[in-house]
Structure 1
Amino acid sequence: MAGRKPDVTDEEIVRVLRDTSEHVLSTIEVSEQLPIKDKATIRRLKELHEEGRINGKQAGRSWVWWVNDE
C-alpha cells in the first residue's frame, strides 16, 4: 500500500535555489533535495517560474533554475 505523498511548500523549493552555492541548479539537482518525484519537481518549478518567483531557462534538453538576489 502506498504511503501519503509528501507535502513540499513553494517556500521550500525556493529555499533550495536560494541556499545553493551554485549560480543555477538543474531540475534533477533540485529534485534530489526534495522528497517528491522528478515529474512533480519540474511541474512545481515551472509553476513558480510562471508566477515570477524563480527564473529558469532551457539549456539543451534540461532546464536550469535560479533566484535573483533581492
Structure 2
Amino acid sequence: MTDKPGPDPTADRKSILEALALAYSPVLGTSDIAERTGVSRQAVDQRLRRMTEDGLVDTRKIGRARVWWITNEGRAYLDPVTDSGNQ
C-alpha cells in the first residue's frame, strides 16, 4: 500500500514560523526556509501558502523570487501569552 501524496508532515507551522522569526533578515525565500528547517522546498512552499491563507505569514514576489515574512498573527501563534497583551 502506498501513502497518499501530500505535504511533508515535518513541515510544521511552528518550525517554519520560528525560522522566519529568528532570521536576521526580515524576509526569507522558500529555499532559505527549507534549508533552515531541513524540509524539502516543495513541502515548505505548500505549507507557507496555507499559512498565508491563515494570516500567519505574508508574501511578495520580487522579480522571479518569492519572499516570506512572519505576521503579528504568526508571532502570536508562536507565543500566545506574550503577544496577547496579558503581560
Larger of the two Rg values belongs to structure? 2
**TM-score, length of structure 1 as denominator length:** 0.80
| Structure with higher helix content | 2
**What is aligned with 2:15?**
12
Residue 68 of structure 1, CA deviation:
3.5
**TM-score, length of structure 2 as denominator length:** 0.66
* Identity level (%): 26
Alpha carbons 1:25, 1:65 under 8 Å: kept: yes
Residue 22 of structure 1, CA deviation:
0.4
Residue 63 of structure 1, CA deviation:
0.9
**What is aligned with 1:24?**
27
**Deviation string, structure 1 residues 13-47 (Cα, Å, up to 9, x no partner):** 10100001101101111111122211111111111
Structure 2 unaligned blocks of 5 or more: 1-7, 76-87
**What is aligned with 1:55?**
58
Structure 1 unaligned blocks of 5 or more: none
Larger RCO (alpha carbons 8 Å, 6+ apart): 1
In 2, Cα distance between equivalents of 1:21 and 1:48:
21
**What is aligned with 2:42?**
39
Q: Secondary structure at the match of 1:65?
A: strand
Q: Which amino acid aligns with 1:63?
A: R
1:66 aligns with 2:69: yes
Report the count of equivalent residues. 66
